[in-house]
Copies of this chain bind each other. A is one copy, B any other.
Amino acid sequence: MEKDVTIYDIARLLQLSPATVSRALNDHPAINSNTKHMIASKAKEMGYRSNMFASNLRRQRTSTIGVIVPRLDSYFMSTVLAGMEKVANDANYNLIISQSLESVRKEIANAKTMFDSRVDGLLVSLAADTENLDHFNTFFQKGIPMILFDRIMPQKNCTNIVIDNVKAGYDATSHLIEQGCRRIMHMTGNIKRNVYEDRLKGYKLALTDHGLAVDDALVQLTNLTRQDGLQLADHIKHMASPPDGLFVANDFCAVSCMGALKANGLSIPGDIAVVGFNNDPVSQVIEPNLTTVHYPGQEMGEIAAQSLINHLNGLLRINTTNTILLNYELVVRASSLRTPPAESC
């Protein structure tokens, strides 16, 4: 447990002042480059590492970014975080990650912890039941920047990073229609959340655009759990006129539902064509493989982190930008593909 090397140690050995050492290590222009090299190599030799606390205390910043996500256990989220980590590391920022487990209560607690940890900025994807951003007011008041991604909510001075969920929902639904579906069911999550609300909007829009009626009995609002998937299959089984297409706002739930539908003797995509959302690896495990909407998590994470860091470094004001839309892609697989395209209008 030997003592840490400080800039004072380096200064003493090199007969310099700590100020010079500090400036040299921070590549300050007023320091002679020979001196810089000498200091840098000595520091390395002695195994010096900067004391972030002293530095943070003086600088009044932490080089730490807080991340709050609903859950960590999705393929999508893990790619997002990988992207954020990459960018943050490169820029010498640390990440503090916490999960709200889809509950505002926990989200509020997380926000408080982040605030007390004095993060320089915040990257947030909202919990299912978050209705307002009041718990982030302390951040807004102090001018601590915050970026919302994926699960967003309009907010002054706050950049949002998303895909166009309306359009994605529209495309998914249109695809089913093109495959000959005429009674398309949609199961989605809590429509307090933009992602689900928007996908629902897109779904409805696609129906009307193609001259199909919107039937509220065909829209199921659930929590998108495995259980919900099973229940939907059961529900479909007992419907007088069951749907011939199904658009589920989440792959995992779609897959569990597919299993139950098949068990009920329905053929997919023959009797009912299915489209999911997110391109979770599970979509390629189920038989038939699930058609789904892919969007790049890694990229979303990178962009979110980079935008925040640029803002912190004064390179980009995030309050002038406001929404960044990323591209998505409808990945057509067997669960929805009826060949040849049925055109039985």
Using a CB–CB cutoff of 8 Å, the interface residues on chain A facing chain B are 1-2, 49-54, 56-57, 62, 71-75, 77-79, 81-82, 85, 89, 94-99, 101, 109, 113, 115-118, 141-143, 226, 252, 255-256, 259, 262-263, 281-282, 284-287
Contacts and interface: CB of A to CB of B under 8 A. Distances in A.
A261 to B, nearest CB: 11
Contacts of A282: 282, 285
Contacts of A74: 73
A147 to B, nearest CB: 19
Contact of A256 (B97, B99, B285): B285
A98 B85 contact: yes
Closest 10 CB pairs of A and B: A73-B78, A53-B57, A72-B78, A53-B56, A1-B143, A53-B53, A97-B97, A256-B285, A73-B75, A72-B72
B226 A281 contact: yes
Contacts of A73: 72-75, 77-79
Contacts of A52: 53, 116-118
A101 B82 contact: yes
11 contacts: A2-B142, A50-B116, A53-B56, A72-B73, A94-B113, A95-B98, A226-B284, A226-B285, A256-B284, A282-B282, A282-B285
A162 B62 CA distance: 35
How many copies of this chain does one complex carry? 2
A116 B53 contact: no
Contact of A96 (B75, B78, B95, B252): B95
B281 A259 contact: no
Given A98-B95, A99-B85, A285-B282, A53 B62 contact: yes
Contacts of A79: 73
A78 to B, nearest CB: 3
Given A51-B118, A71-B78, 15 more contacts: A2-B141, A52-B116, A53-B53, A53-B57, A54-B57, A72-B77, A72-B81, A73-B75, A73-B78, A94-B113, A226-B281, A252-B281, A256-B285, A282-B285, A285-B286
A197 to B, nearest CB: 25
A266 B115 CA distance: 56
Contacts of A71: 78
A251 to B, nearest CB: 10
Most buried by B among A95, A142, A262, A281: A281
Contacts of A99: 78, 81-82, 85
A21 B237 CA distance: 68
Nearest to A63: B117
A273 B75 CA distance: 28
Contacts of A89: 109, 113
A174 to B, nearest CB: 27
A116 B4 CA distance: 12
Nearest to A72: B78
Nearest to A67: B97
A74 B74 CA distance: 7
A73 B69 CA distance: 13
